[in-house]
Amino acid sequence: MNPFFNPNAVAAREKRLADLLEAVHQAQQVARALCNSRDNDNEVKLLFGRLEAVRLEVEQMRRNGAVPFDEIDPKWTGLLPWSLVPEC
């Protein structure tokens, strides 16, 4: 059974992404309030920028959906930055 074509799994994924998007939105509101109260705080500005990047990524995930494993090119599996099999 392919989880990417399971209607329940798809609906659950959409719900999790919607929840994540709402949490990011709330965090952005807090960051915006912090930016207003701390004009020269670069860390708060960086935080807001990172939250915006997360929001964009979640939006892209919602639009594109999941990629079935059958469509992933096998040569990509060798490009992971870590080893899947422990070295002895």
Contacts 24+ apart (CB under 8 A), 35-41: none
Number of domains in the chain: 1
**CA-CA distance, 18 to 23, in Å (whole number)?**
9
pTM of full prediction above 0.85:
no
**Is residue 63 over pLDDT 70?**
yes
Residue 12 belongs to domain spanning: 3-62
Q: Is residue 86 part of a domain?
A: no
25 CB-near residues (< 8 Å, 6+ apart): 55
Q: Is residue 16 part of a domain?
A: yes
Q: Model confidence over 8-35: pLDDT tens digits?
A: 877 888 899 999 999 999 999 998 888 7
The reported pLDDT for the residue numbered 23 is: 94
Q: Is residue 53 part of a domain?
A: yes
The reported pLDDT for the residue numbered 18 is: 92
């952005």: which residue's tokens?
28
C-alpha distances (whole Å) from 55 to each of 26, 47, 50 are 11, 12, 9
pLDDT above 90 as % of the chain = 20
Q: Is residue 55 part of a domain?
A: yes
